[in-house]
Amino acid sequence: MKTRFAPALFTRSQSHVVACLTSLVLFCVLFCVLFCGACSVAGSAAPTPAGAELFQLCAQCHGPEAGGNRPVNAPSIAGLPQWYLEAQLKKFKSGGRGMHFDDLSGMQMRPMAMSLANDKEISAIAEYVSKLAPTKPATQLTDGDATRGQALFVTCSACHGADAAGMEAMKAPPLNHASDWYLFASLGKFKAGVRGTNPADTSGALMRPMALTLPNEQAMKDVIAYIMTLKK
């Protein structure tokens, strides 16, 4: 009985297995075709936009050559090193900068960084902006004393370099192509604790105590007047 029953069962289950395998193979083929199709459609619909394309948004505030625009508080960013641009864009995006309620201009910039979808877009725009020719913004603050500023700048040069061209190892950006009004505003923010106090802002935390060594607005203007003489 057993021997007659067993082959019959074996045959039925065997055909069942074959049917299962066939539909599994068909399903896999169909899945691969659909999935790969979807992939290539998604891939061609959303490649990382070119830096020039992403820059169209930035130009609205930072200007067509990224030379800055004082009425909207947007600094010159042309030719800043890629590492600094990436770090700042990531910091704005993640909320390490531009989150303080008294940081109005930082809060204007933050949503712009948030519009960059991912690290690839951040790299693309940072690379593009880093390759733009650095501008030479005109002096707008008039009452700084560059000679007194030179003495104050000795401290700053330890991180920003004697020529204020920046030092990646210290995470310190170049200052030699920045507008004086932006340098003044930034030093003011560091001093007031509006920038460089967020726990997520480790590089800002390096800078804040340095801003506090400048005792008053006149000292800020003096050191900035000296930095403006370093423009190439």
Query: What residues make contact with ligand HEC under the rule CB under 6 A?
Result: 54, 57-58, 60-62, 72-75, 77, 85, 88-89, 105-106, 108-109, 112, 116, 125, 129, 152, 155-156, 158-160, 170-173, 175, 178, 183, 185-187, 203-204, 206-207, 210, 213-214, 223
Q: Encode burial over 70-105: b for 16+ CB neighbours within 10 A, e otherwise.
A: eeebbbbbbbbbbebbbbbbbbbbeebbbbbeebeb
**Residue number with CB closer to ligand HEC (29 or 212):** 212
d(CA 35, CA 97): 40
Shortest distance, position 42 Cβ to ligand HEC, whole Å: 23
Q: Which is nearer to ligand HEC, 13 or 151 (CB)?
A: 151
Residue owning tokens 């005792």: 215
Q: What is the DSSP letter of 148?
A: H
167 DSSP β-pair partners: 172
Rounded-to-integer distance, Cα 225 and Cα 103, Å: 24
Closest separation in Å from C-beta 171 to ligand HEC: 4
Minimum distance between the CB of residue 218 and ligand HEC, rounded to whole angstroms? 13
User: Is 153:225 a contact under the CB 8 Å cutoff?
Assistant: no
3-state secondary structure 178-197: CCHHHHHHHHHHHHHCCCCC
Sequence-ordered alpha helix ranges (H) in the chain: 2-45, 51-62, 82-94, 104-114, 119-130, 146-160, 180-192, 202-212, 217-229
Residue 66 CB, shortest distance to ligand HEC, in Å, is: 8
Q: Which is nearer to ligand HEC, 141 or 185 (CB)?
A: 185
Nearest approach, Cβ of residue 26 and ligand HEC (Å) = 47
Residue whose structure tokens are 């593009």: 128
Nearer Cβ to ligand HEC, position 21 or 151?
151
Q: How far is the CB of 80 from ligand HEC (least distance, A)?
A: 6
